Amino acid sequence: MMFFFDTVQTFSTTGKSAKGKLLQEMAMRFKDILVQGDYAPDNIVLAMREQAAQMDEQFTRGRKTFIDHTIDRSGDSGQIMAVPVSDVVDFDKQAYFRIYYHKVARTATIPEAAALVKGGAK
């Protein structure tokens, strides 16, 4: 199975700190990439959580970072989001980044795609 990571949103209000900038740079590495593996999004989230924990240890003045992973009901798309943990501020207001991805239904070579145009094999 493959997943296409397409849209990456970063937010200027959280990118001003050194930690925010590093988190956003991490997210931008996933813009427009195709990742193979049945559990690729889960593995990426685990790696991001480890990296965020290291950043939290390095930058002790700010709030801890929470990496959230949500999947739509169909299981075909999802979102990875990083936010500073706070009891007061709504999570949607101060995200470091949001990454959106979609499951790739199938792939085709150029000849296969040309055949599809002509009504060939599906």
DSSP for residue 109 = -
What are the domain boundaries of the chain?
Answer: 2-117
pLDDT of residue 98: 95
- State the average pLDDT over residues 78-91: 78
Percent of the chain scored above 90 by pLDDT?
61
Q: Is 3:34 a contact under the CB 8 Å cutoff?
A: yes
pLDDT band at 94 (very low <50, low <70, confident <90, very high): confident
Lowest mean per-residue pLDDT among 39-43, 53-57, 114-118: 114-118
| pTM as predicted | 0.83
Q: Is 8:26 a contact under the CB 8 Å cutoff?
A: no
